[in-house]
């Protein structure tokens, strides 16, 4: 009977996931159903008090019986803000309207959506395969990390990094892209803080799940970032110039 029960659980969980995805994507085109005010509250607190956001994630699990958001407002607003920021860069550093469109689409897909889907898939596989606690007995309901939740964690982690590396970086970019040690140092420090905070929020997102263990694994990339930063500074690598040259080489 146990294998039959296990199969029925997995099939019922997958059947629940499909309607959840369908409902989620339907709401993307229905702006009236999105909770915009709550989304901006989350964005603010992710920059100032991220643990509060994940405390509300627990409440969401208790009321909706799922860890992932059922409201796509966060992804939609984050995408719009990223597009606006990229347009600001294009208006300052680009000379071609058609090239600006390519840059906006490229940044939106490669920096946020596609990269986020890849990271979410890797984290989804890692957490479900290696970080779940062993059930003490066969009567305990098996819990798994939802893929949509791992993408939520990426989006949460991305937003403060967006504020640092797209918004604040925009205003500092005239200084950061110049030659010299000060721009080199400031650029590397800004990217180090942004990347470290991204991985810290990634850790908080998985640490809140009670059925995962060894979630400190998600803090390890911060050590790698901290070790790499002095090496990049000593080697003369300026990440601001590198990424700006990637898109606007004619103007730098």
CB 93 within 8 A of CB 169: no
Q: In sequence order, what are the residues at sequence separation of 6 or more whose Cβ sits closer than 8 angstroms to the Cβ of residue 61?
A: 67
- Mean of pLDDT values over 40-58: 95
Q: Which pLDDT does position 215 carry in this prediction?
A: 95
Q: Name the average pLDDT for the chain.
A: 88
Task: Return d(Cα 135, Cα 132) in angstroms, integer.
Answer: 9
- Of 42-51, 132-141, 232-241, the poorest mean pLDDT is in 132-141
- Mean of pLDDT values over 116-129: 96
Dig out the tokens for 14 from the structure.
């997958």
Q: Which pLDDT does position 24 carry in this prediction?
A: 65
Q: Which pLDDT does position 17 carry in this prediction?
A: 55
Q: Place 33 in a pLDDT band, splitting at 50, 70 and 90.
A: confident
pLDDT tens sequence across 59-71? 888 888 889 888 8
Number of Cβ atoms within 10 Å of the Cβ of 155: 26
Q: Model pTM greater than 0.85? A: yes
pLDDT over threshold 50, residue 11: no
- Mean of pLDDT values over 222-229: 97
């Amino acid at each position: 009977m146990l294998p039959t029960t296990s199969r029925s659980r997995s099939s019922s969980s997958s059947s629940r996931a499909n309607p959840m995805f369908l409902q989620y994507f339907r709401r993307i085109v229905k702006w009236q159903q999105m909770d915009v005010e709550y989304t901006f509250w989350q964005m603010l607190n992710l920059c100032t008090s991220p643990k509060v956001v994940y405390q509300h994630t627990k409440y969401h699990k208790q009321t909706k019986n799922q860890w992932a958001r059922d409201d796509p407002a966060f992804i939609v607003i984050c995408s719009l803000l990223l597009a606006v920021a990229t347009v600001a860069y294009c208006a300052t550093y680009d000379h071609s309207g058609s090239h600006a469109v390519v840059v906006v689409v490229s940044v939106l897909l490669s920096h946020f959506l596609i990269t986020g889907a890849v990271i979410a898939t890797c984290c989804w596989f890692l957490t479900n395969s290696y970080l779940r606690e062993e059930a003490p007995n066969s009567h305990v309901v098996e819990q798994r990390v939802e893929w949509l939740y791992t993408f939520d964690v990426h989006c949460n982690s991305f937003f403060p990094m967006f504020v640092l590396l797209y918004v604040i970086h925009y205003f500092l970019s005239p200084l950061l892209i110049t030659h010299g040690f000060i721009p080199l140092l400031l650029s590397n420090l800004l990217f180090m803080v942004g990347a470290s905070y991204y991985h810290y929020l990634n850790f908080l997102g998985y640490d809140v799940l009670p059925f995962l263990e060894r979630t400190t694994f998600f803090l390890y990339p911060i050590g790698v970032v901290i070790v790499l930063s002095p090496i990049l500074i000593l080697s003369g690598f300026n990440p601001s110039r590198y990424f700006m040259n990637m898109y606007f080489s004619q103007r730098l």
